[in-house]
Amino acid sequence: MHIVMVEPEIPGNTGNVARLCAANHMSLHLVKPLGFSIDDKHLKRAGLDYWSLVDVQVHENFQEVLDAYKEHRFFYLTTKSEQCYADIQFQEDDFLVFGKETKGLPEDLLKANPERCFRVPMIEDARSLNLSNTVAIVSYEAMRQLGFPGLAKGGIGIQNLK
């Protein structure tokens, strides 16, 4: 599974997503411009000591990601869709694409891919969820559908979650 953050602005969110990617063996793609330095202390603090476990790739623009992974499926998470993320039938090499905290994904990208746009349901009056929370919600649904591939199944017992 691949997580793509397009022009992320808040280092703490990116650090949290990096930690999630490390713990779940997902690749993290960061699309420039970034609103911080990858060496930022807040970014490192949020990711703690997990950075060595993360496959982080930095791209100059989103088209570079599309060109490099033509054979893969891309899903765009946005508040501007009526389709629910839980309706996606995930595959292991899917790309989950998230926009920047203040504006989301570019409107032209969403309009060009309406069948690939999905949202996390919430009440009408809520503008959006925190970006790192949204990444966690959607990525864990994907892993649940796939049977939590490669993850330790201890703790409360993943077999009880199905």
Binding residues for S-adenosyl-L-methionine: 77, 99, 120, 128
Half-sphere exposure of 91 (CA within 13 A, CB side): 8
CA dihedral defined by 11, 113, 25, 45, rounded to 10 degrees? 0
Q: Which residues belong to the annotated binding site?
A: 77, 99, 120, 128
Partner residues linked to 95 by β-bridges: 2, 74
Evaluate the CA torsion angle 92, 95, 101, 105 in order and state its sign: negative
Alpha carbon distance 23, 61 (integer Å): 26
